[in-house]
Amino acid sequence: MIHVVQAALNGVVKGVEMKIVLRNLSFSYVSASRERKIFENVNFTFGSDRVYSIMGPSGTGKTTLFKLLSNDLEPSEGTILFDDRDSHTLKPQYVRSHIISRIYQDYLLVPYMTAGENILLSREILGTKTSLEEKENAHHLLDLVGIGNLKDTPVRLLSGGEQQRVCIARALASQVPILLADEPTGALDKENTLKIGELLRKVAHERSITVLVATHDPLLAEEVDEQCVIDNFRINSVA
């Protein structure tokens, strides 16, 4: 297992660390009929080389935080800095291709493509031919999340937990400094939850990246370096 981990992490640009600074961040959803406040004057820094859990009851704003960080939403007030760069001076496409990789709650896989093809898809969308090394790396990543034997299986034939692990492998394939994982173990059993927690920590430390994990799962939260909770429109570190 260890040599597989090492192989898959090889070739990854190390030292691409980047911290996330939320400065006086406020955000509300506003529609004609109502305003739904999510964040109010949040000041928080997520440092690199670390895995953070983002917890809080359903509807408190975990996914909203990830959408703000990905430039899918714009803060109502305040700023999000990637190191010292204001995220809103950056194009959303640039943020998604160079800064942030996401593991989505609803997977977003192409059902008729295989697990391996789904991992390489972003390269193909960009019209870039995938190298043999990238293909091997994709297979190593599938090994790493425990489904290497399913690399040639169309995703529509995989179980929920297997599809979830394809998403994790896909996110790990991109070499960016920030990884956002939304409920990455929601469909997994205890054993695989612990393995994914361990893997995320290993990746964060070996690549020096910043990993944020939105989760309701106390088991996964135990695996992270720092637990955070969204409460009363703020983000607080749990001592």
Ligand X SMILES: Nc1ncnc2c1ncn2[C@@H]1O[C@H](COP(=O)(O)OP(=O)(O)OP(=O)(O)O)[C@@H](O)[C@H]1O
Least CB distance from residue 84 to ligand X, whole Å? 27
Interacting residues toward ligand X by CB under 6 A: 29, 36, 38, 56, 58-64
**Torsion angles phi and psi, residue 60, rounded to 5:** -85, -15
**Cβ proximity to ligand X, 36 vs 91, nearer residue:** 36
Least CB distance from residue 105 to ligand X, whole Å? 6
**Cβ proximity to ligand X, 119 vs 224, nearer residue:** 224
d(CA 194, CA 192): 5
**Cβ proximity to ligand X, 59 vs 92, nearer residue:** 59
**Torsion angles phi and psi, residue 178, rounded to 5:** -130, 130
Least CB distance from residue 36 to ligand X, whole Å? 5
**Cβ proximity to ligand X, 64 vs 87, nearer residue:** 64
Least CB distance from residue 227 to ligand X, whole Å? 15
**Cβ proximity to ligand X, 65 vs 155, nearer residue:** 65
Least CB distance from residue 68 to ligand X, whole Å? 10
Residues in contact with 44: Cβ distance below 8 Å, sequence separation at least 6, in sequence order? 21, 22, 228, 235, 237
